[in-house]
Every structure is written in C-alpha cells, then in structure tokens.
Structure 1
C-alpha cells in the first residue's frame, strides 16, 4: 500500500528529509515550538506581589489603612463603628461597653458617696444638737460631692488613666498620646477638662442635675466612638482592658 506520493509507508516523500541537525535554541527536536515559556513566570514580565512587600498605593505594614480623609490630630480612626478605634501608632483598640461604664460609675459612686454620706450625717447631728437655726450651713456642702469627684477621679485619670471603679470594670481612659503606653495617665489638662464638663453643670440650680445626667448618658448618642460630651471636650476615649475570647 502506498501513500499519495507513491512511497511505501514509513518513508519520507521524495525530496524531503528528516531534520537531524541542531535545533534553534529553546526549540525541542522535531521542529515543534513550545507554546509557553520554560519558567514558572507569566509570559509578560515577573510575577506581581512579592511576599513581604506592600503593593503600590498601599501603606506599609503596621500602619492603619485610613479610608478617605485621615482623622484630625487627637482623634481616632473608626475601625468598626461603636466597637473599635485606632490611632496612628496603635493596633485596633476595643471600646468599652456602656454596661462596663455604668458598673465603673456605680463603684466610684460608692467609693465617694459612702464617706460623704457619713460625713453629712455627723455634721447634721452636730448642728441640730447645737443651734438648729444654722441649718443653712448645709448649703455649703452642696458642692462637696462635685469637688470630691474632681479631686478623686481627676487625680487618678491624670496619673493612671483609670479609677478604682474603672479598673474593676476593665476600662481605661486614653488620649492619642497615652493610648500606646499601657498604664499611662491622660494628663491633668484632659482629666480635669473631662470632669469639669461632666460635674460642674450639676452646680447650676434647678436644671444642673438634668444637664449632668445628660452628660453622663451622652455616650449613647455617639454610635461611632461612644464618646460622651465630656470625652469630646477632652479628646478622650474609653477603651476596654479585658481580653476578648
């Protein structure tokens, strides 16, 4: 049986010879060309995104990736609204819950309120046993609670960032400067600004107590960073110190 060229099977057509010489560089024998390059890289340049190197347009590792306009100095970047914040030099920080803040306020209230109540009762008995007409002297003790809060809480926040009640509840008050320093206080200026905004309205007759209550409840009005009006005035944030499981 012959092929169309009249040659028996297994022979090359007349005038054609197999290629037995050296092939061009990079070509296998037989004249076939490789459809892909010999390396593991793509055909058009080296692979993109070497391990350990940030991509073009991305911030270096260890820095927060701010979306949009970066926050103003002293303010934190909102990572998760109502849950996590982050400063430029810190990892994400978990915001304190409103339940833990209420617990801290109750504990601190007992620490301040119980001694003051005992003191007022002693003075009341002493005045009534002496001259009852001097009842007006009790008006001088109305600012005593506010002054006690300023001294007690202001000193502890300035030096440690937390009161006894906040330590019990696992809360720490931080600013941009103190957030990256565990156990650091927020300083006298922010501490007394924060407390003055919260406590001093209570000295206003008639409406002072209502204003003070609104200030205490004001963190509920901020769904982004849970900052009360006193926090906004001092540029402070209440973060949790308890580990998350």
Structure 2
C-alpha cells in the first residue's frame, strides 16, 4: 500500500533526509558530498579577503593613495602630505624631506649678502657723490630700492628657473621643486613659477607705508603652514622647499 506521496511503506519522501541523520552518501544533513563545508563565492560576505600580495597600501598609483574613507587626492601641482611639516610626496617620486626653517633662513642670509653687499657699496658711493657733489642729485638715493628688487628678480629668478637653487640655497642644502621638476635632480622650476614666486615676495615692498610690513609677512608666511611649510609665495607658484642633505 502506498502513502499519499505515492511511495512504499518505510521509504522516506523523495529528496528529503531527516534532520540530524546521515544523508544519502553518509554525509551530515546540509553538506555536499566530499565532507567539505559549502563555500561562498569570492567577494561575497563571509569570505575572507586580503589586499594584493606584496602591494603596500597607500603606495602612489594604487587605490587608496594616502587613503581612507572620504580621502581626496591632491589637486594638480600639489604634493601629498606624508608627514605633516616633514615629508611630502608626488605620484612619481619617493617621499621628499621638507627643508627646515633654519636652513631656509640661512639661505636667505647668504643670498642677501650676495645682493646686499654690492648694493650697499653703491649706496655709499651715491651718498658721497650727493654730499660732496651736487646736492640737487639727492633723488638718486631713491634708486636703491628699485635696484634691490630688480637685482633679486634677475639673480634669484634666473637661478631658480634654471637649477632650482641659488648660491645661498646650495650652501644651506635647500632646493625648490614643483610637481614637474621634483623627479629630476638639478632641474629648475621654470621661469613662470620662479618669477611668480619672486613677484609675490618682492612687489608688495613697493607699496608705500605698509609695503615693508607685507613683504615681511610674506617672508615669514612658511611658519603659518604646518602641513608643507609653504609660504604665500610658494603657494602662488606651487613650489616646495625640500632638503638636499636629508637621508631617505
């Protein structure tokens, strides 16, 4: 006699195995043959995943460069901050060590002497000429300030454009770089960035009364940036001052 399912007495319903009893091939109920637990497809919840073997996370050119949720990559021309106030990195370079403010100050002193000593001698000559000669030529003394600005533009602008460093920066172990020149040792930053940087630093000094104060603030402005030590003139030109004496 058959049961309502059309099967013989004692036979289990078709396709069913009692829970907790061995299945058709001696396997526990709910497991496939072979004795291995069911695996979930790769990439599905519950399956362990790991990053690519041998690829450090956050390395330039890899997903998550400097990364994390909400991370925004640097804008064109800007460096990635590796260590705030200490190291930066472009996509095609290793980490670059930022120049210290002490070394930048030393470079400025050396360059100031290179420009200032000849101009100081010229100023003394003009004073003597005015006092001993024609008193009506006193207006010549006002040429010193424009001459100082022009001298700095020619001297520093040319050297930064062609080699990224002045004599003072060479002495102090400082080099200016942009995104394009950072991966080329000894390369200059180009005429555009060089003269943009200098114009931002020098031209405010020509403003009557407050020009000297503005120029001083521009020179001190790298102290205001705790991330990349960029002064206002550096930000305008998209340049960074790095150390040439640092160990990587």
How many Å separate the matches in 2 of 1:117 and 1:184? 32
Task: Provide structure 2 residue ranges, at least 5 long, that are not aligned to the other structure.
Answer: 1-35, 37-46
Tell me the TM-score normalised to structure 1 length. 0.76
Please name the residue that 1:11 is paired with: none
Greater mean alpha carbon deviation, residues 128-137 or residues 233-242: 128-137
Question: For the aligned residues, what is the CA RMSD?
Answer: 2.7
Cα distance change on mapping 1:186 and 1:229 into 2, 3 Å:
same
SS in 1 for 2:187: coil
Quote how far apart the aligned CAs of 1:244 are: 3.0
Partner residue, 1:15: none
Aligned residue runs from structure 1 range 45-194, under 5 A: 52=54, 54=55, 65-67=65-67, 68-194=71-197
Residue 14 of structure 1 corresponds to which residue in structure 2? none
1:208 and 2:220 matched: no
1:238 Cα shift? 0.3
Residue by residue, what CA displacement relative to the aligned partner does 1:181-227 show, whole Å, maximum 9, x if unpaired? 00000000000000000011111111110000000000000000000
Aligned length: 203
Structure 1 residue ranges without an equivalent (≥5): 1-34, 36-44
| TM norm structure 2 | 0.75
CA distance in 2, matches of 1:207, 1:232: 22
What's the secondary structure of 1:123's corresponding residue?
A: helix
Choose 1 or 2 for highest CA Rg.
1
What is the CA-CA distance between 1:132 and the residue it aligns to? 1.1
Partners of 2:174 and 2:243 within 8 A in 1 = yes
Q: In 1, distance between residues paired with 2:247 and 2:190?
A: 28
The verdict on how the C-alpha distance between 1:49 and 1:78 changes in structure 2, with shifts beyond 3 A counting, is closer
Alpha-carbon spacing, 1:62–1:128, altered in 2? closer, same or farther (3 Å): same
Which of 226, 234, 241 lines up with 1:231 in the alignment? 234
- Residue 60 of structure 1 and its aligned partner are, at CA, apart by 6.7
Secondary structure at the counterpart of residue 164 of structure 2: coil
